[in-house]
Structure 1
Amino acid sequence: MVARDLSSLDPGRRDRLLRLAAAELAERGLEHASLNRVVTALGMSKSSFYHHVGSRQALVEAVIDAFGTRLVEIIEPPSRQALRADFWGEITALAERLLQAGEQDEVFWQLGRMWHDPATSADGDGLRRWLTDVVDVGREVGAIGRDLPADLQVRMSAAVITSLDAWGVHAPSRDARELLPAQVAALRRLLAPTETA
Structure 2
Amino acid sequence: MTRAVGVLPPRRRAALLGAAAEEFARAGYERASLNRVIRGQGMSKSSFYHYFASKEELFDAVVEDLAQAAAAALGAPPPEALAEGDFWSGVGDLTARLARIAREEPDAMRFAALFYLSDAPAGAPLAAVRAAVDAWIDRALEVGRAGGAVGDGLPLALQRHLAKAVVWAMDEWTVANAADLAAPELAGLPEVQLDALRRLLAA
Q: Measured at CA, do residues 144 and 12 of structure 1 come closer, stay the same or move farther in structure 2, by a change above 3 Å?
A: same
**Paired residues of 1:78 and 1:90 also in contact (CA < 8 A):** no
Matched, 1:135 2:141: yes
Root-mean-square deviation over aligned CA pairs:
2.0
Which residue pairs with 2:100 in the alignment? 100
How far apart are 1:26 and its partner, in Å?
Answer: 0.6
Which residue pairs with 1:177 in the alignment? 187
Amino acid aligned to 2:193 = Q
For structure 2, list consecutive stretches of 5 or more residues without a partner in the other structure: none
Matched, 1:24 2:23: yes
Amino acid aligned to 2:9 = D
**Paired residues of 2:80 and 2:140 also in contact (CA < 8 A):** no
Q: Measured at CA, do residues 53 and 164 of structure 1 come closer, stay the same or move farther in structure 2, by a change above 3 Å?
A: same
Whole-angstrom distance in 2 between the partners of 1:180 and 1:62: 29
For structure 1, list consecutive stretches of 5 or more residues without a partner in the other structure: none
Q: Percent of aligned positions with the same letter in both sequences? A: 35
TM normalised by structure 1 equals 0.89
Whole-angstrom distance in 2 between the partners of 1:182 and 1:162: 14
Amino acid aligned to 1:178 = G
Amino acid aligned to 2:131 = D
Matches within 5 A, 1:35-184: 35-85=34-84, 86-120=86-120, 121=122, 122-123=126-127, 124-172=130-178, 174=183, 175-184=185-194
TM normalised by structure 2 equals 0.87
**Paired residues of 1:76 and 1:94 also in contact (CA < 8 A):** no
Quick one: which of 176, 192, 196 aligns to 2:202? 192
